[in-house]
Structure 1
Amino acid sequence: MFRALARAIHHHRGLVFAASAVFLALAIAALVRGGRLSTGVVEGTEAERAQQLASATTVGSTDTTLAVVFHSDTLRNTSKEFQDALKGTLEAAAKLPSVEGVLSPLGAPKAVAAQLQASTGHDTLALVRLKGDIREATRAFPEVRAVLSAGPLQATLTGRIAFIDALNQLLEEDLLRAELISFPLALLVLLRVFRTWVASLLPLVVGGLAVLSGVAGVFALSHFTDMAQYTINVVSLIGMGVAIDYSLFIVSRFRSELEREQGIEAALERTLDTAGRAVAFSGLAVAVGLAGLLFYRGSYLSAMGIGGALVVAFAVVFALTVLPALLSWLGPRVNRGRVPFPSLFADKEGLWHGLATWVMRHPVLVLVPTLLILVAVGLPFMRLQLAATDITALPAETEARRGAESLQKLFPRQAANGLVVVVQFPSGSAFTAERMGALYDKSRQLARLPGVIGVDSIVNLKETMDRDAYQELPDFPEEMLPPEFSQARDAYLHGSVTVMRVLTEAPASSQAARDIVETIRRERAVGDGTLLVAGQTASDVDAGHFVRAHTPRAIAFVMGLMCVVLFVLLGSVVLPLKAMFMNLLSIAGSFGALVWIFQEGHLSGLLNFEPGPIEPSLPVLLFCALFGLSMDYEVLLLSRMREEWERTHDNAHAVAEGLERTGGLITSAAAIMVAVFAAFSLAHVVVVKAMGVGMAIAVALDATLVRILLVPAMMRLFGDFNWWAPKVLSRWLSLAHQAHGPSERPPH
């Protein structure tokens, strides 16, 4: 099949170029159209359901409410000039079609107004609630910010929407910066490998096409399904690495075949029948790994899996079509533009053969300390803590971060971590004597919990009112209700739903805050109503439960299907199982390093970030992506060993020769991967930074300790058993290969 593909491309390369140009035009059109990217949510959790119920109330709509701190260096916040300026700005904002309501000291009850005036005398807080869901509010944010910032007072905006807007801008900047850095670094490594400009630029062309097409695909899909903004960075990170690696394998093999003084067509056939086949299986392995994310249906992780698999598919397709067409057109000209660089790892004839031979002479001496090193690196993963990205993920100079810090300093009660407790009654109104009594009891019970500093609710308006007084309110005529209640009713009540805000000084991502959530959830009954908890801490708890519940099936799927793919490629049941074990070792090492660096804060000064819990999606993304990426090198190395084993049936020779033929290529490919991934370590967003660092560490471990030391040592210990498979499976595989026609082996 691969030989036929090579012949077709060689004779119809003009058609390949034309089809690629049409596809490129469509991709650019999709990029110009743009996408509807979101922050990503986990659907179906208690926190998400509770937030939907709470959003109908003012107190519960925190996701779409902006906190605006107005400041003047000269004017007192109680002066007429300050208040006139504040009034003009807020009235202009209230006229915007996207603004639903404004709460400020102007016209608010005295008790509320006092909480919105800072003791500094120069600062005032206003809460601006936007219409629609968080997507609609985020799209309207730039216009609202422009109006609020246009007045004579200094306005600093913060809140969930401001955080999302700043995060999206930083993600775009991080992506551009990483690409500007990774391309030159990758080119430098390619020049060291190929020592010609033409050969070195070809992988970058394929990488650029793959990433551009992958991002365009994500934009197109975002109009039909929820695609998180992070997906673009994930697509760029994975797409650039695999596309350049695949192109490296193919260009390297094509140049090698040309040196045998064969024609261009014959060289192309042999290239696709060997390196092309390895690229196809490698792409399949990466796609299988990313397909594990599809088990997280109902979350943005599944969409990331689709985006990642899409860009890998583009990388494989371009590497097997556009790149061969370019090689066919160039022929020997692929070696033009000589660069006076020493070749990377390839000049020392026999280096890898000698290393593999030495390792196989001392397998236990190599295996034990290498395993201990990997286990030691992975041990910190046992201390993993998960929490969603919060405002601390933003650089200190961003407006949303500065606003949050000002809020914490000037208005600590408003800035306190607020757990949104939602009580839903089966029918009717929450405003009945019996239900007000039940709410009163629950609010006092919550206030007594360790770590809780206060409760805001419809039954906490006046300390002088007791339980009986609150129960009498539903019987009062509308005009006789206390003014505090009339104004607070819309804030806390909506039909059969009421909202309470439980305040704690414990940070949202802390274990103390999680303990409060778990304690509140133990008692669900509030009269005849049911209690639910929303808010950032509750979302973190639910996201952790979601990930833990879906991960076993995802891991079983990825590992099981990967074993099948490797068996079809290698014809052994032992090698796939060993590959699973070694992949887990390198990934565990990456996870341990991730916790040690980003959670516990080591190297925080060097990498410029604030340590904290790990984003729940990060370990999942890394596992699914790295499990497939690690197979790149596994497929290349073991397939070459398999060739030698079938020719000589000498296990030691097959291992040494396989490493000799692929060791330099694997190291070069890993160097490119590390360069691409490390470029993302300069990102401002900690999640992107952590993913780049984690993947760079995993690839480095995989290409050094695992492939160069562990593989030869374990291959030596297992001996001929490496190539064993049950006769039934071997016979089935032989019949399958015969059904697809014989495949020529490359010359040795």
Structure 2
Amino acid sequence: MSQPTSDAPSVFARLARGVYRHWGRVLGGGGVLLALAVWVLLQGGHLTTGTIDGIEASRAESLARGAAAGANDQTLAVIFHRDDWTTDDPRFTQAVASVLERVQRLPEVEAVVSPVGAPEAFRARFVAKTGHDLLALVRLKGGEREATAAFPAVRAALEDPRLQTTLTGKVAFVHALNELLAHDLLRAELISFPLALLVLLWVFRTAVAAMLPLVVGGLAVLCGVAGVLLLSRVTNMAQYTLNVVSLIGLGVAIDYSLFIVSRFRSELAEGLTTEDALARTLDTAGRAVAFSGLAVTVGLAGLLFFRGSYLSAMGLGGALVVAFAVLFALTVLPALLSWLGPRVDRGKLPFAHTNRRGGAWHALATWVMRHPWWVLVPTLALLLAMGLPFRRLELAATDITALPAHTEARQGAETLARLFPREAATRVLVAVEFPSGNPFTPERAGALFDASRRIASLPGVVGVESAVDLVPGMDRATVQRMAAAPPQALPPELGSARAAYLTGNVAVLQVLTSQAPSSREARDLVRELRVDRAVGDGRLTVGGQTASDVDAAAFVKHHTPAAVGFVMGMTCVVLFVLLRSVVLPLKALLMNLLSLTGSFGALVWIFQEGHLHRLLRFEPGPIEPSLPILLFCTLFGLSMDYEVLLLSRIREEWLRTGDNTHAVAEGLEQTGGLITSAAAIMVAVFAAFSLASVVVVKAMGLGMAIAVALDATLVRVLIVPAMMRLMGDLNWWGPGHSWRSRARVKQREVVP
């Protein structure tokens, strides 16, 4: 253990002594923060599914918002069914009419479209061939947030004891997704806390010490979630940010507490008083926690480069919960330790042991030092092989298939596709904006007719719905005559239907394809539609779910290089300040990339290609566009926990002895058990989130669990020591001294 040469206490030591003298006030402050967090949680927030500002798909939706046919996102598809009534039975139609009349009176409802009282040609679209099913469309007011908030009231109004009612649509999907995310969050926490406690009991062998990290973890998560809810009132915050924040906060808070409690107990065992042990603990492990928290925050700050999207807000939420984890680990936890003192070892378990280091880590360290090439080459090959599936990555936003099969929205979508295939077809929104004036003059109607026929001929298109496609078989001249006719000269149903596709100076076309929204064919169709944008003197803009997928993937791809460069560059700076070496930060970047390579490859192999879909209970499909960059920014920082822990101990031994091989072996022997214990806790926490019903949360939890497991075993315990053994004294090269001689200046080291 290194000794400081200066008599001046460090900031961390002064903090420790201040907390020791005023531990009651510190705990009181923590209690106030807890009370405020609980109050905010009771108030709730304004969470969404997550949007990206400024993309073309959003602009198309905005242009078409005034047209009834352009508001797919706020429209509910309602299927009415009764086994013993047919659709032409007056009792059926009267029951449906009374329900829809009640719904129409709701202030949240903008319009209702149904076959009741409609012309026969229109009615055929909304009556199933089964003879027992009717379809109605209920359009809600406002945007996604307002429509989702209104859904429960609308759903209740649609209930009728005479009918079986099934709802689907984006609003129903979002509502079901939000409920599942809340349920997943509660279940994951109920599972992860006991799992973490079991690992902590195994690590500490005393009940009191094992409970302390859980206290800090609970405080950090509660305050972090409260912070997210507050942020959601002023910025676009996705619903599953709560799950991500809980996942990150619980993992890092317990890890940081593990480092501090472990070091405190070690210092007490050396015979130090409680105050001195606490000062030494924060001067070593506390410093490591501060640097680790800074590294994690730097990683999450990479998400700020995705300005205008929910990713940026998610980065703020993640950084906030990490800040709370560091704050409580350096204040509330030391206050608890000040109060407990030697009582931290109370509640010893019957299977307690005294040899924490054991011979296994000594034997492993010795073997790695003797056979670095035999360790390095096969392990590198294994990680690179695990990463190969990532080359086949496909990205698409979360859709209805992310919901479990038992949810109403999912069942409704499948019923809609079976009974009303045209209404269930994937719809690509095309909004044609003209410079000004009426979008349906004879000249513009002719241009819309030409564009509609061109679009209808594209591969995969099964139909086009627009103001020029109201009557099958109409030619261009007929369309232009209809455009020239005064509205009162048109049949009422034709006039109202045409108005559904026109708003202001914008004409709306719905392009129907039988391909799934996330399919490659549907994305190719969106790109093809954007090739030729001219429609007479107007210009078309493409929107809809598939277009949003295309734009989101392009948005993420465009901003990723800057985010990755920032994270890697700032991580190098943080590690250079800590280790005073140029080589070790660069090596750390390479090690982090290796951990991520294996995790990303496993993500594609499992969730995109579906190799474990029966075991994990999900439907394979493309990866959510935000997931890879979210994992990168989060895990790049989390990996620094183990890097800081291992390299700080190695550097301490190198400064003491000047022997690189001995320093690496000793550092691995002293920290190997702590690294694997901390990783076991994180894996337990993250694995609990992999049990989620929502695929994106399941993938996030499992991806992080795999990355941490690889990082703490293959990378930190095998590859890092092997590489450092091979590089020798070059590891310690830095400005101001030769790589052939060790530094002679003693400093306080970060040694948890």
- TM normalised by structure 2 equals 0.96
Q: Does 1:460 align with 2:464?
A: no
- The secondary structure found in structure 1 opposite 2:73 is helix
Pick one of 338, 341, 344 that aligns with 1:331.
341
8 Å CA contact retained: 2:400, 2:409: yes
> Is the 2:285–2:751 Cα contact (8 Å) retained in structure 1?
no
Any conservation in 2 of the 1:641–1:658 contact (CA below 8 Å)?
yes
Alignment-derived partner of residue 358 in structure 1: 367
Instruction: Give the equivalent residue in structure 2 for 1:50.
Output: 60
- The 5-angstrom pairing of residues 519-558 of structure 1 reads 519-558=528-567
2:155 is aligned, of 145, 169, 174, to 145
1:352 Cα shift?
1.9
Counterpart of 2:229? 219
1:177-188 counterparts in 2 under 5 A? 177-188=187-198
Contact 2:298 2:570 in 1 (8 A): yes
Q: CA deviation at 1:483?
A: 3.5
Q: Counterpart in 1 of 2:88?
A: 78
| CA–CA distance in structure 1, aligned partners of residues 264 and 291 of structure 2 | 18
Counterpart selection for 1:37 from 42, 47, 54: 47
Q: Which blocks of at least 5 consecutive residues in structure 2 are unaligned?
A: 1-10
- 1:292 pairs with 2:302: yes
Distance 2:737 2:417 in 1: 69
Post-superposition CA distance 1:484-537 (Å, at most 9, x none): 431212310001101111111110000011111111100010111111110111
User: Superposed, which structure 2 residues align to 1:455-604 within 5 Å?
Assistant: 455-604=464-613
After alignment, is 385-394 or 468-477 more displaced?
468-477
User: Residue 24 of structure 1: CA displacement?
Assistant: 1.2
Indicate the residue corresponding to 1:645 in structure 2: 654
**What's the offset of the Cα at 1:745?**
5.4
Paired residue secondary structure (1:499)? strand
Aligned partner of 1:234 in structure 2 is 244
Q: Is the 8 A contact 1:193 1:343 kept in 2?
A: no
Closer, same or farther: CA 631–467 of 1 in aligned 2, 3 Å: same
The amino acid that maps onto 1:146 is: A
SS of the aligned residue for 1:429 comes to coil
Provide the rounded CA distance (Å) in 1 between the counterparts of 2:521 and 2:486: 43
* Structure 1 match to 2:8: none
Q: For the residues of structure 2 that align with 1:463 and 1:38, how far apart are their CA atoms?
A: 40
Aligned to 2:209: 199
Check the 8 A contact 2:357/2:669 in 1, yes or no: no
- Structure 1 residue 660 and structure 2 residue 669: aligned? yes
1:250-399 alignment, distance < 5 Å: 250-342=260-352, 347=356, 349-399=358-408
Q: Is the 8 A contact 2:79 2:135 kept in 1?
A: yes
Give per-residue Cα distances to partners, 1:249-274, cap 9 Å, x unaligned. Answer: 00000000000111000000000000
**Equivalence for 2:3:** none
Q: In structure 2, what is the Cα distance between the partners aligned to 1:598 and 1:497?
A: 40
State whether structure 2 residue 737 is matched by structure 1 residue 692. Answer: no
2 CA distance for matches of 1:743 and 1:111? 86
Aligned-residue RMSD, C-alpha: 1.7
2:682 to 648, 673, 680: 673
- Counterpart Cα distance in 2 of 1:170 and 1:133: 21
State the match for 1:155 in structure 2: 165
For the Cα contact (< 8 Å) 2:302–2:564, is it kept in 1?
yes
- Does the aligned pair in 1 maintain the 2:649–2:750 contact within 8 Å? no
How big is each residue's C-alpha offset from its partner over 1:517-558, in whole Å with a ceiling of 9 and x where there is no partner?
Answer: 111100010111111110111000001100000000000000
- Aligned to 1:500, the other structure's residue is in SS state strand
| Residue 151 of structure 1: how far off its partner (Å) | 4.8
Letter aligned with residue 205 of structure 2: R
Deviates more, 1:412-421 or 1:469-478: 469-478
Q: Which amino acid aligns with 1:646?
A: L
- CA distance in 1: counterparts of 2:353 and 2:650, whole angstroms: 24
How far does residue 685 in structure 1 lie from its aligned partner after superposition? 0.2
CA displacement, residues 661-707 of structure 1 (integer Å, 9 cap, x when unaligned) = 11100000000000000001110000000000000000000000001
Deviation at 1:113, TM superposition (A): 1.0
Matched residues in 1 for 2:670 and 2:511: separation?
64
Structure 1's 522 and 589: CA in aligned 2 closer, same or farther, altered over 3 A?
Answer: same
1:594-645 C-alpha deviation (Å, 9 max, x unpaired) = 0000000011111011100000011011000000001110011101111111
User: Which residue in 2 is equivalent to 1:19?
Assistant: 29
Cα deviation, 1:144-167, whole Å, max 9, x if unaligned, reads 000102352111000000000000
Corresponding residue to 1:2 among 6, 12, 16: 12
Tell me which of 580, 605, 619 is aligned to 1:610. Answer: 619
- Secondary structure of 1:531's counterpart equals strand
Residue matched to 2:440: 431
Query: Contact 1:388/1:614 (CA < 8 Å) preserved in 2?
Result: yes
Aligned partners of 2:645 and 2:751 also within 8 Å: no
Q: For 1:365 and 1:539, locate their aligned partners in 2 and report how far apart those are by CA, in whole Å.
A: 48
CA distance in 1, matches of 2:209, 2:633: 31
Structure 1: how far apart are the matches of 2:606 and 2:748? 49
Instruction: Look up the equivalent residue of 1:525 and give its one-letter code.
Output: A
In the alignment, what sits opposite 1:705?
Answer: 714
Shift of 1:311: 0.3
Which residue identity lines up with residue 201 of structure 1 in the other structure? M
Say whether the 8 Å CA contact 1:194–1:343 is kept in structure 2.
Answer: no
For 2:438 and 2:232, how far apart are their aligned partners in 1?
Answer: 39
Q: What's the % identity of the aligned pairs? A: 68
Tell whether 2:449 aligns with 1:451: no
1:114 aligns with 2:124: yes
Structure 2: distance between partners of 1:315 and 1:678:
20
Give the letter aligned to residue 537 of structure 1. Answer: T
Aligned to 1:626: 635
Is 2:105 aligned against 1:64?
A: no
* CA–CA distance in structure 2, aligned partners of residues 49 and 478 of structure 1: 29
Alignment check: 8 A CA contact 1:270 1:746 kept: no
Q: Give the Cα separation in 1 of the matches to 2:664 and 2:747.
A: 22
Residues 648 and 750 in structure 2, CA contact (< 8 A), matched pair in contact too: no
Change (3 A) 1:14 1:208: same
Aligned amino acid, residue 307 of structure 2: R
| Contact 2:68 2:500 (C-alpha < 8 Å) held by counterparts | yes
Task: Specify the code of the residue in structure 2 equivalent to 1:643.
Answer: E
Letter in 2 for 1:228: A
SS across alignment from 1:283: helix
Distance 1:611 1:340 in 2: 46
Instruction: Assess if the C-alpha contact under 8 Å between 2:287 and 2:750 holds in 1.
Output: no
Distance 2:559 2:322 in 1: 24
Residue 277 (structure 1) shift: 0.4
* Residue pair 1:189, 1:668 contacting (<8 A) in 2 also: yes
Q: Which structure 1 residue ranges, 5 or more long, are not aligned?
A: none
- Equivalent residue of 2:515, what SS? coil
Higher mean C-alpha displacement, 547-556 vs 478-487: 478-487
CA drift of 1:477 comes to 2.3
Q: 1:130 aligns with which of 119, 124, 140?
A: 140
Determine the C-alpha separation between the residues in 2 that align with 1:412 and 1:441.
26
Work out the CA distance in 1 between the residues paired with 2:607 and 2:463.
Answer: 33
| Distance in 2 of aligned mates of 1:174 and 1:514 | 31
Q: Is the partner of 2:338 in helix, strand or coil?
A: helix
User: Structure 1: which 4+ aligned runs deviate by more than 6 Å?
Assistant: none
Change (3 A) 1:728 1:258: closer
Q: Match for 2:585: what amino acid?
A: P
